[in-house]
Amino acid sequence: MTTQPKPTIPSEPKAERVDLNASDWYLNRELTWLEFNKRVLWEAEDERTPLLERVKFIAIVSSNLDEFFMKRIGGLKQQVGAGISELSVDGRTPQQQITECYAVVRELEAKKQELLTQLIELLNKENIRFLPFVELAKDQQQAMREHYIQNIFPLITPQAIDPAHPFPFISNLSLNLLVGVSGLESSNMTLVRIKVPVSSSVPRFIQVGNEHLFIGLADLITNNLDLLFPGMRIVFCDQFRVTRNAMTEQDEEQADDLLQMIESELRERKFAPVIRLEISSTMAKLQSGMLAAELGLNEEQDVFVVEQRLAMNDLFQIASISRPDLFDPPHHPVDHPKLAGVPNIFHAIREQGSILLQHPYESFVTTVERFVKEASRDPNVQAIKMTLYRTSAGTKIVQYLIDAALNGKQVAVVVELKARFDESANIKWAHRMESAGIHVTYGVVGLKTHSKVIYVVRQDYNGLRRYAHIGTGNYHAGTARLYTDLGILTCDQKIGEELTELFNYLTTGLVPKRNYQNLLIAPNKLKSKLLEKIDREITKHTETLPGLIQFKMNALEDVDITAALYKAAQAGVKIDLIIRDTCRLRPGIACVSENVRVISIVGRFLEHSRIYYFQNGGEEEYFIGSADCMKRNLESRVEVVTPVQKPELQTVLRQILTVQLTNQRSVWEMQADGHYIQLRPKDKQLGVQETFIKLANKRLDEAKASKSHKKEKKKSGANRNTD
């Protein structure tokens, strides 16, 4: 296992002698993110994971690595190309980071190939089979050839590579064939590139007959090349795939039209430099060298040989086969006990106070979507404002916003056009909303709007009242079933007043003095407030009441926050960090971070919620919101983190933290050198996420029982009065 080097620890170290500016104390962002993918890949290796879920985890890691190359390696290569040799906080040059990342990626790829071999054998036993075309029965081959002629052959466009035909453009992440063809009696060979036309209508794996028997699309094309090259000899046919740099951001301060700039950026990304070439193991050195040279790559470094199957993210297709017995038990989000059976969501919020939502255990549809739906139809609602970072076609929120505008309500939406890989979709959503009369803006120049906020102004019986949803996750129906997130529905007056200030800022970009006393807003004050609260925990720490900080988030990357946590740990403050992926801090080092514990949770859902807890000398503080402790979140994005002050809701957050920190079933614990050890329960124990499924169902059952009891009691009292 590749690990990061351990820091040099002085003999008998003392806190005051530790130089927290030294690179030894900080782990590398890229390597710790790759370490996270090892933990995800373990889910594919774990025999306790249902078979098709294991296939899904291989697809997830493959998709993650594609994005890693496009974003992270792409950015590092740009730095190398610009001659930047400045060291990262962990003491590495851009080229050193690329080299070390490549070593870990090759390790991950080898493990993926090994696991796929094992899983294919297990799938065979379940009558889900992959066969090469040549191993099909004759009648099956004929049926597949006819299918190819009718449904695929018209889509094939062979492109010769010779002096008369320049090297063709290779699209990002496309699967391709490199074919050598010659005349039957000629030794002259021509190279031809064929793009394998995988699309929503042409799947990567073609089903043979009515059973779960599949052949690869590339294999089908390869074995019917005589249709493309009649009367010619096929010398070889190998697969390859390229990855292009996605880091093509332009300077929006120089852009007259942000929408046009993003559309231009998307066009540029299509033609961005290639940063990785993947080839099948059958490809000869001569051909791989030619491809690398044409694509401007270093053959020794940037070419990745794949033993079995390229583009394993396409295994999502197999992972969606209808075999319920090979998946986790189906999960059905429950209604929130505070909202179930309540006819008006605004009355429920006003009468019961703030309501904490826990997705996907509690339904997104019957909470967040319902909130917007009722707002769009309620005649007392005057205005709806929201931020939109990512959404999906399956989410009804956009339609409800359009309905609200058509119903004469003021609707304003801040759409983030620069949400990576969702830019095109967000442009379409923006156009659709604008055409319905919604006020669409694109946030503040120089900042991404990453906050998750819906803000509703309603004419209540006693005047205007502000209602809001503040969350940790996107307004996306698909991810709401797959990601663990938190949200709060509230009509707190102070929060509402500050959200008014926030939307005035987002829709104008003007920065007069904005009075945020409760919300922690980035980049205005979130980072400074977190640092202030960490420092306060040190000052309030005593032997009788030790300080305690607990953070749950996706990543801890910001150096200033990491250094502050080190200082708090040296002062004796206990620190629990539940970090999904990237974590710069090294836990468990004597006299430096021995009071720090870092864990990571991996399961059927992607951990995505953010919780910030400070013991504060007994006056406990809880916060939830959209921000991770990453430099980009704290300094370059508009983020909203809200306090959770209602004792009942604090109890739920305490339960969430306690379950995650005490579980042994689905938890990995970080070591000082950056690698993780999976904890092992001594006896049968539900995993973290299975525990939350059970707790959500229990809360709803108890609420129903309580309502039923009150109803019976009321009925009994009425009967006694009648008697």
Q: Which residues pair with 553 in a beta bridge?
A: 579
Measured CA to CA, the distance from residue 534 to residue 249 in angstroms comes to: 34
Return d(Cα 694, Cα 690) in angstroms, integer: 6
Q: How far apart are CA 496 and CA 457, in angstroms?
A: 9
**What span, in angstroms and rounded, lies between the C-alpha atoms of 62 and 68?**
10
DSSP string over 394-443: T--HHHHHHHHHHTT-EEEEEE-TTSTT-HHHHHHHHHHHHHTT-EEE--
- CA pair distance 277, 480, nearest whole angstrom: 34
Nearest by Cα to 555 from 529, 585, 595, 527: 585
**What beta strand segments (E) does 285-399 contain?**
303-306, 355-359, 381-388
| d(C-alpha 242, C-alpha 260), whole Å | 27
* Pairing status of strand 574-579 against strand 596-601: parallel
CA distance 106 to 214: 28
Output the CA angle 563-564-565, nearest 5 degrees.
Answer: 90
SS3 per residue for 489-509: EECCHHHHHHHHHHHHHHHHC
Is 541 an active-site residue?
A: no
Whether the CB-CB separation of 595 and 624 falls below 8 Å is answered with no
Q: Which of 113, 110, 116, 104 is nearest to 54 (CA)?
A: 116
From 450, 469, 476, 541, the catalytic residue: 450
- As beta bridge partners, residue 484 has 607
Q: Are 205 and 214 in contact (CB under 8 A)?
A: yes
Question: What DSSP string describes 179-215?
Answer: EEEEETT---EEEEEEE---SSSS-SEEE-TTSSEEE
**What is the DSSP code (8-state) at residue 321?**
S
Residue 43 in contact with residue 53, Cβ under 8 Å? yes
List Cα–Cα distances, 519 to 334, 412, 523, 525, 644, in angstroms.
29, 21, 12, 9, 10
Selection from 36, 43, 37 nearest residue 687 by Cα:
43
The residue behind tokens 């993650």 is: 64
Q: Please give the positions annotated as active site.
A: 450
